Amino acid sequence: MSYNFLKIEAPKKTEDLSSWLEGCLEIDSSVGGTVSKILGEIKVDGNKAVLKYCKEYDGLKAGSINEIKVSRKELEKGYSSTSKRYPDLIEALEVSYKNIEKYHTVQFEKESSTWYVEPESGKKLGQIFRPIKRVGVYIPGGRYIYPSSVLMTIIPAKVAGVEEIVVCSPPNTDGNLNNILLYLFSKLDIDEIYKIGGVQAIGALAYGTESIRKVDKIVGPGNIFVTTAKKMVFGEVGIDGLAGPSEVVILADSTANPDYIAADLISQAEHDPQSKSILLTTCRDTAKAVIEEIYSQADFLIKDSGGEINASVILESLKKNCRIVYNSSDSFLIDICNTIAPEHLEIMMKDCEGVLKKIKNAGAIFLGDYTPVAVGDYIAGTNHVIPTGTSSRFSSPLGIYDFYKRSSIAYYNYDMLRKERKYIEVLADYEKMLAHSNSIKVRFKNKKADKNG
């Protein structure tokens, strides 16, 4: 094939790129209307509505929720079948499992702590960490199966100490879950699993039904309908975030290998027609070589895949959302990168560590020529559920902290409250919160106030 759809852009200021720097999670009004209707029915009708939409969207005819709950027998059968049929896949999953568990265990040790301080006699302040009790995990299914997402969402919850983990995933056309998923659910010791997909899954988890108890938080990726549903139920339950199209930014200089850059840009394009693949380079020759290599590798992959690669998605994504940007100033390119706040950032520059210190906004960062995004997607141990659409400005990858809640602790004895009472009363009186002020004063009206507190 002959391609000619990429060009080198040479912006002079960040504003020149405003058309493609914006976040790209857009929810069509028709999607919002459909999602709102389904959620409303589930909130009112519970099981009846869930079963109705399981039939309509999942193609699963069931008379009760028990019929769409995965049994222990199904789990055992899926585990046994997968173990024998996919030995290489099982070996890879085992390595991924151990690496993800190891990373999040260290994260747990570093991040979570209960602490107290006593700034002065009679006053104690602190914070306690407690795991969320019940978490719902949504696992996409259907045409594509993502076992890596099972590990990425469930392992941190288990490391954090979540007591109850319930999973929803859409069934195959035969009404069953994929055996690879069953294998992983069994290995992870998950025993509450429902064959429910889409909006109806999010509604069941968020509101609960006669048969499914509501959860405290929902995590996991999904399509625009799932994402919209998560947005609508937020507040009723917690959510991990709203995922838009995936994106990668590669910062490169003259030392970077154009072959590697091209391969990584193409791999990002494989996700979705809306995925963004962006190269920011200080070397014009590198930019030229990457463009030629993208054409060459895309052509090779399409011809060599035997039709298994989704060529139309890759080409549409590259044509619409691939950008090759040149500027001789690495500081200018780093400013652009921080403005984009990418989901994935690869740094292929001579001074990777020096550049890293200047990065303010990025979800997951990959250093050097031999750390492509695919490493993080599957095996490194870091989490691949990462904020998109510039939201890494204020959000983080999924981690154990997503499955914890913090409670602040305060203790005053009589003498300490007497010492600071006037400040509380002044502030409360100014804000016209007279009952607040009285709650302090009442403790000193009686000269015999209890001083044993």
Q: How far apart are CA 173 and CA 145, in angstroms?
A: 13
- The answer to whether residues 193 and 70 touch, using CB atoms and an 8 Å cutoff, is yes
Q: How many whole angstroms separate alpha carbon 259 and alpha carbon 298?
A: 12
**Distance of alpha carbon 294 from alpha carbon 206, whole angstroms:** 44
The answer for residues whose C-beta is within 8 angstroms of residue 97's C-beta and 6 or more apart is 151, 155, 187
272 φ/ψ angles, rounded to the nearest 5 degrees: -165, 150
Half-sphere exposure (Cβ direction) of 150: Cα atoms closer than 13 Å = 26
Q: For residue 51, what are the CA distances in angstroms to 55, 56, 204?
A: 6, 9, 10
Pairing of strands 123-131, 134-138: unpaired
Strands 115-120 and 123-131: antiparallel
HSE-CB of 389 using CA atoms within 13 angstroms: 10
- Which pair of tokens denotes residue 47? 């099981």
DSSP state of 362: -
**Residue 384 known to be catalytic:** no
Q: In this structure, what are the phi and psi dihedrals at residue 120, rounded to the nearest 5 degrees?
A: -160, 165
- Which of 293, 343, 346, 384 is labelled catalytic? 343
Tell me which of 104, 271, 344, 384 is the catalytic residue: 344
Going along 315-453, which residue ranges are E strands?
322-326, 344-348, 364-367, 404-412
Largest CA distance in the chain: 92
Cβ 8 vs Cβ 258: under 8 Å? no
Q: Decide if 344 is catalytic.
A: yes
Which residue's structure tokens are 């020096």? 354
Residues with active-site annotation: 343-344
